[in-house]
């Protein structure tokens, strides 16, 4: 047996074509001891400024020509308060865009109306810093027919956040089926920055899917997909395939979310003009940065200043994902491009672009002249860098090792346990801490001795990326790393960060005063469902 195997070789060697290894979740009651707060029911002392209802339910939507696609979607209503708090994305399975203001108190009643009796679900507000009981911890997942009341104050910076299901073992499937939505926070400070607004402030959610012959989503992970992550052959933008937009000769603010289960994109304009990044996961940068390409991994957000004012009516430009090797080190760094070709072999579908293959994402047609009232701002919003010397663990950063053992991805050698918190997974409220996320080599593992890229996400905090280091004792890492490393935008607030094979990413974060258990995990959703997740607990 070769030391490194491609996805296809693996299937051939084991004959495991359609074994689902996604573990069955532990069903939990809708209240969970030790989580604090008032899980599951409204608090009579909480006075919401806005009250919303979100229902996870089955629906049909037209995506490809012909038969409509059965999807799972969030249907939302404004129960009380500003009707603009909720904006439907018409013609898409994506949930409504929640538009909230910093300082607002929100009550959101989530109801699980999914059509399969074992599909527990719960919503996580990805990027928001809310109390532990309101964070959508997998132990708070509810059964179909039940509901859960969220109550929290929006305290985060203005920015592009999102929400999605978080039941353990079912997240990947539920997101693939359509459950996800954007959550856009605004505040006075960010309103004062002269960026495009209204029709010129545009969400752009990137996802990939596989369709069967009857236009239905195919999600039946074989062992390979469960271990490496789902890759689709159709790119969907805001839920639509082969998307083309008609734009004016103006600047636009593009709010990009990578809502894919596992696919990483290397964003670039097809004509080689630089991307201008104005924001990351936790809101605006201190100043725009220009990049030839930008990496965006599952869970991450990027905001672009996309300026078409210098273009002629009739021009077209494509948003593409450029090729990058080495994110999946099957068959060696150079073979990584080929290695994924056989991945997701389902129903004989062998033409799924590999992780890191070049892809077209979106075509923009400049079809009308409009005067541009805005100028690209020289500065955006101040970002105060953490003073690392003040970190409580400055001499001994918390280390999270990403490894693979017996074909399962682990964090510090451990898999997820619903209610377990190890002694080294406790953290103090209000403390500033340093974390080192170390993407290890996996000597002796049949698959991936040289690891793969993992998008690492921590609930309950926004962090800063302090530095990245690539180990230099494996020459195989260098070419892959060189193909992506100029595309990291690390100067802003983050909640999800791509960690390449052989890389250590140092993070700094100050925990809020939200006592309780939060999860940290890989945002490759098949990895998270497979157990690449742990609890940490903020203690007084």
Rounded to 5 degrees, φ, ψ at 323 are -70, 140
Residues 489-528 that bind Cu ion (CB under 5 A): 522, 524, 527
Residue 114 binds Cu ion, judged by CB under 5 A: no
Stretch that binds ligand C2O, among 12-20, 88-96, 185-193, 517-525 (CB under 6 A): 517-525
Rounded to 5 degrees, φ, ψ at 257 are -120, 130
Q: How many residues bind Cu ion (CB under 5 A)?
A: 4
Stretch that binds ligand C2O, among 16-24, 204-212, 262-270, 519-527 (CB under 6 A): 519-527
Shortest gap between Cβ of 410 and Cu ion (angstroms)?
A: 10
User: Nearer Cβ to ligand C2O, position 5 or 297?
Assistant: 297
Residue 301 binds ligand C2O, judged by CB under 6 A: no
Tell me how far apart the alpha carbons of residues 229 and 234 are, in angstroms, rounded to a whole number.
Answer: 16
Rounded to 5 degrees, φ, ψ at 488 are -90, 130
Shortest gap between Cβ of 9 and ligand C2O (angstroms)?
A: 32
**How far is residue 229 from each of residues 83, 192, 296, 328, measured CA to CA in Å?**
38, 41, 16, 10
Entry field: residues in the chain: 540
Which is nearest to 336 in space by CA: 448, 234, 232, 444?
Answer: 448
| Phi and psi based region of residue 100 (left: phi greater than 0; alpha: psi -120 to 50; beta: remaining) | beta
Q: How many residues bind ligand C2O (CB under 6 A)?
A: 10
**How far is residue 36 from each of residues 31, 108, 281, 442, 515, measured CA to CA in Å?**
10, 18, 27, 39, 8
Tell me how far apart the alpha carbons of residues 405 and 96 are, in angstroms, rounded to a whole number.
Answer: 40
294-296/265-269 β-pairing: antiparallel
Residue 263 binds ligand C2O, judged by CB under 6 A: no
Interaction mask 450-489, Cu ion, x per CB under 5 A: ----x-----------------------------------
User: Nearer Cβ to ligand C2O, position 262 or 380?
Assistant: 262
Tell me how far apart the alpha carbons of residues 90 and 371 are, in angstroms, rounded to a whole number.
Answer: 28
Which is nearest to 161 in space by CA: 282, 328, 297?
Answer: 282
Residue 527 binds ligand C2O, judged by CB under 6 A: no
Shortest gap between Cβ of 127 and ligand C2O (angstroms)?
A: 8
User: Nearer Cβ to Cu ion, position 292 or 417?
Assistant: 417
Is residue 205 within 8 Å of residue 182, measured between CB atoms?
Answer: yes
Residue 514 binds ligand C2O, judged by CB under 6 A: no
Among 8, 102, 107, 124, binds ligand C2O (CB under 6 A): 124
User: Nearer Cβ to ligand C2O, position 297 or 354?
Assistant: 297
105-113/147-153 β-pairing: antiparallel
Which is nearest to 498 in space by CA: 228, 271, 300?
Answer: 300
Residue 521 binds ligand C2O, judged by CB under 6 A: yes
Among 457, 468, 527, 534, binds ligand C2O (CB under 6 A): 457
Residue 4 binds ligand C2O, judged by CB under 6 A: no
Shortest gap between Cβ of 457 and ligand C2O (angstroms)?
A: 5
For the chain, give percent helix, strand, coil, nearest 5.
10, 40, 50
Residue 164 binds ligand C2O, judged by CB under 6 A: yes
Tell me how far apart the alpha carbons of residues 383 and 381 are, in angstroms, rounded to a whole number.
Answer: 7
User: Nearer Cβ to ligand C2O, position 4 or 164?
Assistant: 164
Q: By beta-carbon distance, which residue lies closest to ligand C2O?
A: 126
Stretch that binds ligand C2O, among 30-38, 188-196, 336-344, 516-524 (CB under 6 A): 516-524
- List residues binding Cu ion (CB under 5 A): 454, 522, 524, 527
Residue ranges in contact with ligand C2O by CB under 6 A: 124, 126, 164, 166, 299, 457, 459, 519, 521, 523
């Amino acid at each position: 047996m070769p030391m490194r195997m491609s996805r296809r070789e693996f299937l051939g060697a084991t004959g495991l074509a359609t074994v689902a290894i996604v573990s069955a979740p532990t069903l939990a009651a809708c209240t969970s001891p030790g989580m604090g707060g008032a899980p599951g029911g409204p608090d009579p002392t909480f006075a919401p400024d806005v009250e919303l209802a979100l229902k996870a339910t089955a629906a049909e939507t037209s995506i490809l020509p012909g038969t409509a696609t059965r999807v799972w979607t969030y249907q939302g209503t404004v129960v009380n308060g500003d009707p603009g708090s909720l904006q439907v994305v018409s013609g898409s399975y994506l949930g409504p865009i929640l538009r909230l203001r910093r300082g607002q108190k929100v009550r959101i009643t989530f109801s699980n109306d999914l059509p399969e009796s074992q599909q527990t679900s719960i919503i996580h507000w990805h990027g928001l810093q809310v109390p532990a009981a309101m964070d959508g911890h997998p132990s708070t997942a509810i059964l179909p027919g039940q509901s859960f009341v969220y109550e929290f104050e929006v305290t985060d910076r203005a920015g592009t956040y999102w929400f999605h299901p978080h039941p353990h073992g079912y997240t990947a499937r539920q997101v693939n089926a359509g459950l996800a939505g954007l959550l856009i926070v605004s505040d006075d400070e960010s309103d004062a920055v002269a960026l495009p607004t209204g029709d010129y402030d545009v969400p752009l959610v990137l996802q990939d899917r596989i369709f069967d012959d009857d236009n239905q989503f195919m999600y039946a992970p074989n062992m390979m997909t469960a271990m490496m992550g789902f890759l689709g052959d159709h790119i969907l933008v805001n839920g639509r395939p082969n998307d083309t937009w008609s734009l004016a000769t103006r600047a636009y603010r593009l709010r990009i979310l990578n809502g894919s289960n596992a696919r990483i994109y290397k964003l670039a304009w097809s004509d080689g003009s630089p991307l201008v990044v104005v924001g990351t996961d936790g809101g605006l940068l201190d100043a725009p940065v220009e990049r030839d390409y930008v990496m965006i991994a599952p869970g991450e957000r990027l905001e672009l200043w996309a300026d078409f004012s210098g273009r002629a009516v009739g021009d077209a430009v494509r948003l593409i994902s450029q090729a990058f090797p080495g994110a999946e080190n099957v068959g060696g760094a150079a073979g990584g491009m080929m290695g994924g070709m056989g991945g997701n072999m389902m129903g004989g579908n062998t033409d799924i672009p590999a992780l890191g293959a070049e892809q077209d994402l979106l075509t923009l047609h400049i079809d009308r002249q409009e005067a541009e009232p805005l100028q690209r701002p020289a500065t955006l919003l101040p970002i105060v860098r953490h003073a690392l010397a003040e970190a409580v663990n400055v001499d001994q950063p918390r280390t999270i090792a990403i490894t693979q053992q017996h074909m399962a991805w682990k964090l510090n050698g451990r898999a997820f346990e619903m209610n377990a918190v190890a002694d080294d997974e406790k953290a103090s409220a209000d403390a500033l801490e340093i974390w080192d996320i170390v993407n290890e080599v996996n000597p002796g593992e049949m698959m991936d001795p040289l690891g793969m890229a993992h998008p690492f996400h921590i609930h309950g905090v926004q962090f800063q990326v302090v530095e990245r280091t690539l180990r230099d004792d494996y020459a195989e890492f260098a070419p892959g790393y060189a193909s992506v490393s100029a595309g990291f935008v690390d100067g802003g607030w983050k909640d999800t960060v791509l960690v390449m094979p052989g890389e250590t990413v140092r993070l700094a974060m100050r925990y809020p005063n939200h006592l309780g258990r939060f999860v940290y995990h890989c945002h490759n959703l098949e990895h998270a469902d497979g157990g690449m997740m742990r609890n940490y607990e903020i203690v007084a």
